[in-house]
A = this chain, B = another copy of it.
Amino acid sequence: MTTAKSDTISTRISKTLADRIISGAIEAGSRLRQDHVAEEFGASHVPVREAFRLLESQGLVVSEPRRGVRVAGFTREEVREVAEMRASLEALALRNAFPHMTKAILDTAEEANRAGDRAPDVYAWEEANRNFHRIILAPCGMPRLLKAIDDLQTASARFLFSGWRAEWEAPTDRDHRAILDALRTGQADMAAAVLARHVQTIGQKRPK
């Protein structure tokens, strides 16, 4: 949410646009015109083009050679694809994180989980949910994997905010607790299995 301090103009533009795409402020399929974006941000279009490339690598826009970029659409198929990739990669990350898991980490994760329970709206809930996943996966120490998961989580969030899912229901939190319990009792494979199933359910709710 908070774009933090990001030195270069391209990244600042990129993050702002990403927020808009994820929140649904810019709808899928609409064109992004570099001059207009540049003017809005008071910049030239060179950093805008680089921001577009950033967004492209996250799968938020698609770019055709001389025809500009447009916000990536997401069909039921694409949502399922992202969910399956997340399930696969998050399970992998969790199995690798397991040997480095400490009580402190699990406690922090539990706190993130509670923050989700207290969340007043879907945006706050999404942030807490994302934090929970990040906290339990980060100890794997595999940066490339974590980056990939992060991009997939962004795509998932986009889906979540799109209104396909009317309410963010409670079962997810139950899953989170089940994962923590499994980790606490040393059942790595069980935890990974629950996590994989948990992530996949995200792609199955409310087929529009």
Q: A residues within 8 Å of B by Cβ?
A: 7-8, 46, 49-50, 53-54, 56-57, 59, 65-66, 77-78, 81-82, 84-85, 88-89, 91-92, 96, 141-145, 148
Nearest residue (CB) in B for A56 is B57
> A148 near B148 (CB under 8 angstroms)?
yes
Nearest residue (CB) in B for A87 is B92
Cross-chain contact of A144 among B49, B78, B91, B92 (Cβ < 8 A): B78
Distance between Cα atoms of A148 and B144 in the complex (Å): 11
Distance between Cα atoms of A65 and B54 in the complex (Å): 14
Q: Could you show 15 A-B contacts with beta carbons less than 8 Å apart?
A: A7-B65, A46-B46, A46-B49, A50-B53, A56-B57, A59-B144, A78-B144, A81-B143, A84-B96, A84-B142, A84-B145, A85-B148, A88-B89, A88-B91, A88-B92
Residues of B contacting A141 in the complex (Cβ-Cβ under 8 angstroms): 77
Q: A7-B65, A46-B46, A65-B7 are in contact. Are A85 and B53 (CB under 8 A)?
A: no
What would 9 more interface pairs be, CB under 8 Å, given A81-B142, A85-B148?
Answer: A49-B50, A56-B57, A77-B142, A78-B144, A81-B144, A85-B145, A88-B88, A88-B91, A89-B89
> B88 near A84 (CB under 8 angstroms)?
no
Nearest residue (CB) in B for A63 is B8
> B85 near A89 (CB under 8 angstroms)?
yes
> B57 near A53 (CB under 8 angstroms)?
yes
Residues of B contacting A53 in the complex (Cβ-Cβ under 8 angstroms): 50, 53-54, 57
Nearest residue (CB) in B for A140 is B81
3 closest A-B pairs by beta carbon, nearest first, are: A57-B57, A53-B53, A7-B65
Residues of B contacting A143 in the complex (Cβ-Cβ under 8 angstroms): 81
Residues of B contacting A91 in the complex (Cβ-Cβ under 8 angstroms): 88
Residues of B contacting A66 in the complex (Cβ-Cβ under 8 angstroms): 7-8
> A92 near B96 (CB under 8 angstroms)?
no
Residues of B contacting A7 in the complex (Cβ-Cβ under 8 angstroms): 65-66
Distance to closest chain B CB from A189 (angstroms): 14
